[in-house]
Chains A and B, each alone.
Chain A
């Protein structure tokens, strides 16, 4: 599965949109982009995934560039409870288990 690169940390003001980038320049055509987050001392939580189209659910939006080399997770109105480590993972649909990298620590402040 392709390697992903994320900034180690980001800050966001409460109520603002949080845009978390992920680079996956070696992603192959059958690899999905998954996003998870882990709030301190809890198990990771699935957020969203996509292949090549933009996706939206009740938690977030996922924007994937046309060449699929990068993506952005958007939390439209960040709250203090969104403070967490966010992981971007590339995974083949029928491939191996999820392999987590270091992720991005998002700090939302008032």
Chain B
């Protein structure tokens, strides 16, 4: 069974541009989570989508946005890129049905965004 897949693996952009990162959850999973891991700052929660709806949002400015598609895949958009947006962006998925716990997430390997 395929795990969580993210693309692209690496992305280089310049300040002011927009970046789009994509995530495909494990088959059958309906929730997708996005995290940012910048150097020295640890894992920061960004966004949580379930069944196409935004369920929760971390403490990030509005230029960080995303969506979840009917097939449960998701994309994260970062507008007006700033140098400090350089980070590893991790996507995770889970299934919120009966018998599953919301804390059991399956992570992808991440997309590394570099802003020059």
* A positions within 8 Å CB-CB of B: 32, 34, 38, 41-46, 49, 87, 89, 91, 93-103
Contact yes or no, B107 A97, CB < 8 A: no
Residues of A within 8 Å of B107, CB to CB, are 43-45
Contact yes or no, A46 B106, CB < 8 A: yes
Contact yes or no, B110 A46, CB < 8 A: no
Could you list 5 A-B pairs, sorted by A, with CB under 8 Å? A38-B43, A43-B90, A46-B104, A98-B105, A100-B35
Given A43-B90, A44-B90, A97-B48, verify A89-B103 contact (CB < 8 Å). Answer: yes
Residues of A within 8 Å of B92, CB to CB, are 43-44
Q: Which residues of B87-116 are within 8 A (CB) of A?
A: 88, 90, 92, 101-110
Across the A-B interface, the 6 shortest Cβ-Cβ residue pairs? A43-B107, A100-B43, A34-B103, A91-B103, A97-B48, A44-B107
Residues of A within 8 Å of B108, CB to CB, are 43
Contact yes or no, B102 A91, CB < 8 A: yes
Interface SS, B side: strand
Interface SS, A side: loop
Given A43-B110, A44-B90, verify A102-B42 contact (CB < 8 Å). Answer: yes
Total contacts A-B at CB 8 Å:
56
- Docked Cα-Cα span, A47 to B71, in Å, equals 28
**Is B72 close to A, CB under 8 A?**
no
- Docked Cα-Cα span, A46 to B100, in Å, equals 13
Name A45's closest neighbour in chain B (CB-CB): B107
- Docked Cα-Cα span, A41 to B107, in Å, equals 12
Name B58's closest neighbour in chain A (CB-CB): A97
- Docked Cα-Cα span, A106 to B8, in Å, equals 30
Contact yes or no, B102 A46, CB < 8 A: no
Contact of B102 among A44, A93, A103 (CB under 8 A): A93
- Docked Cα-Cα span, A103 to B88, in Å, equals 18
Contact yes or no, B45 A97, CB < 8 A: yes
Determine how close the nearest CB of chain A comes to the CB of B21; give it in whole angstroms: 14
- Docked Cα-Cα span, A98 to B55, in Å, equals 13
Name A43's closest neighbour in chain B (CB-CB): B107
Contact yes or no, B101 A49, CB < 8 A: yes
